[in-house]
Amino acid sequence: MNGEELTEQETALYDRQIRVWGADAQRRLSKSHILVYGMKGTIAEFCKNIVLAGVGSLTLVDDRAVSEEALSANFLIPPDESVCSGKTLAELCCDSLREFNPMVRVSVEKGDLASLGAEFFDKFDVVVISCCSLATKKLINEKCRKLSKRVSFYAVDCRDCCGEIFVDLQKYNYAKKKTDGATECELQYPSFQEAISVPWRSLPRKVSKLYFAMRVIERFEEAEGRKPGEICIDDLPAVLKLKKELCEAQSVNESHVPDTLLERLVMGAKEFPPVCAIIGGTLGQEVIKAISSKGDPVKNFFFFDATDGKGMIEDISNPNLES
């Protein structure tokens, strides 16, 4: 969108949501540019939601070919094998997303995200990454933070019936609704590196056990040189050994990371479509909040476990780093 005002076509198409969050929020959405890496099932749900919401542009990055795992969770991939031949996941998803909303510019960028320079990320307002290693999460987050403008960063991971979203909005100002009007609020977010560096023993006792379990799985895959999700039940003894070492190093009881939870994450490294819908929907809502500056955003982790049906927001921050 070149101008400041919504066109007649946009106003007509987005009429219902304009009634919900207002014309100003829709204008901001229509001018926003989103980068997404890793076209898994959760990301497919997220992309569908923000394309329907009417963002300005969406750029997809994923050079992988279609696999059985991708087909089981990503509804954007056509079932026709002849259509999939010779195309990457990003290209296939791009074709499908364009049909959802022709007014949104959906494109594909090829290459390794980690090797791209900071100037590449400067083109975007929001960066969302999925199925990334621990090192890649840290690297992309830091590249976003070094830019002259604020770029919202999200990392999402969905394994079996569990999901995690990490949010870094840096220094974020937004309007919080109250009965007598709106109040301007400010939040200071830590980077991914700063958040996961907070000592476990300093966290509240009721912090989601998924937080600790995901850190164990993350560390195991990094130590073994595995790609995210390249883990199976044969790895469980080594994962439990690492859990014990980490708990000892962090001076916390091993009950913080139940063996049964780690076993579920190891056995169910693939995505579970109903959970993809929940995590992808939540991620979409959070990105819309960040772009529109309306509503209380997640700070800074969101967890969901389908076994109890609960979603939890956890603020994993070092108070000494906040200003």
DSSP secondary structure of 264-309: HHHHT-SB-HHHHHHHHHHHHHHHHHHHHTBSPPP-SEEEEETTTT
Residue 14 backbone class (left: φ over 0; alpha: ψ -120 to 50; beta: rest): alpha
Grade residue 322 by pLDDT with cuts at 50, 70 and 90.
low
Q: Is residue 152 within 8 Å of residue 290, measured between CB atoms?
A: yes
Give the DSSP letter string of 201-258: GGS-TTS-HHHHHHHHHHHHHHHTTPPTT---GGGHHHHHHHHHHHHHHHT--GGGS-
Section 236-247 average pLDDT? 98
- Tell me: the pLDDT tens digits for 28-66? 999 999 999 999 999 999 999 999 999 999 999 999 988
Q: What is the pLDDT of residue 4?
A: 67
CB contact set of 278 (below 8 Å; sequence gap of 6+):
163, 304, 306, 311
Query: Cα separation of 170 and 168, whole Å?
Result: 5
In the beta sheet, which residues pair with residue 108? 60
- Tell me: the pLDDT tens digits for 199-214? 999 999 899 999 999 9
pTM of the model: 0.94
Q: Is residue 10 within 8 Å of residue 55, measured between CB atoms?
A: no
Point out the least confidently predicted range of 130-134, 164-168, 244-248. Answer: 130-134
Grade residue 321 by pLDDT with cuts at 50, 70 and 90.
low
69 versus 271: which is more confidently predicted?
Answer: 271
Half-sphere exposure of 119 (CA within 13 A, CB side): 0
Domains and CATH numbers, the chain: 8-194+271-309 (3.40.50.720), 198-267 (no CATH)
Is pLDDT above 80 for 180? Answer: no
- Tell me: the pLDDT tens digits for 290-311? 999 888 999 999 999 999 999 9
